[in-house]
Amino acid sequence: MTQEVGNVERDAKITEKRRLPAWIIVSAFLILVVFLALIGWGLSRSMRAGLSKGDPAPQFSMSTFDGKTINTADYTGKVVVVNFWASWCKPCEQEARELEGASQYFKKDGQAVFVGLAYVDTEPKSLGYLQQFGVTYPNGPDLATKVSQQYGVKGVPETFIIDRQGRLAYFRAGPFNSVDEIVAIVNSVLGQ
């Protein structure tokens, strides 16, 4: 029994010697909390959209697949529909003909223009996509995702509708369902 008491006392002294000071435990805990808070802050920033309704839309220049250069600054006073798409994107295929139909509808009076940017795509596949769906409005590659980064694109398809004053009036993540839907939205922006 005396030996057992001695072992218990010896174990208690060893445990006491191994225990870290309270200030080290508290400091480690605070560092962990700060680290987790920074990770949460970074994730929330990356999940936020790049533009909010009413924000000035970034102006950009691009070379189209047919060799022309367009600059969105030239469209001041018009509603501009900017669509990010890719040939590998199945939801993009669902709206390609609808966007073309809406662009033809507004082509008559020229109050709204459509611009497409191929997101992370190869030129041959992009050209095949445009031909397959009969897309005629200006389209070009978003080389190095420069424009999509300015707009805060998270995936495709994404469409930004810019009002006559150059502000974001409407944003859509995902495909449109019909020409009528696109026409109604663009008309509402034209009426603002």
Q: Using an 8 Å Cβ cutoff, are 162 and 80 in contact?
A: yes
pLDDT score of 45 more than 60:
no
Structure confidence by residue, pLDDT tens digits, 58-70: 999 999 999 999 9
Per the prediction, the chain carries an average pLDDT of: 89
Q: What is the pLDDT of residue 26?
A: 85
Confirm whether pTM is higher than 0.85: no
Q: Would you put residue 52 in left (φ > 0), alpha (ψ -120 to 50) or beta?
A: beta
Q: What is the pLDDT of residue 80?
A: 98
Amino acid at 183: V
Contacts of 168 (CB under 8 A, 6+ apart): 51, 52, 53, 54, 55, 56, 57, 160, 161, 162
**Cα 26 versus chain centre, distance:** 40
User: Which residue in the block uniquely carries the two structure tokens 């020229």?
Assistant: 110
Q: What is the pLDDT of residue 93?
A: 96
74 confidence band (pLDDT: 50, 70, 90): very high
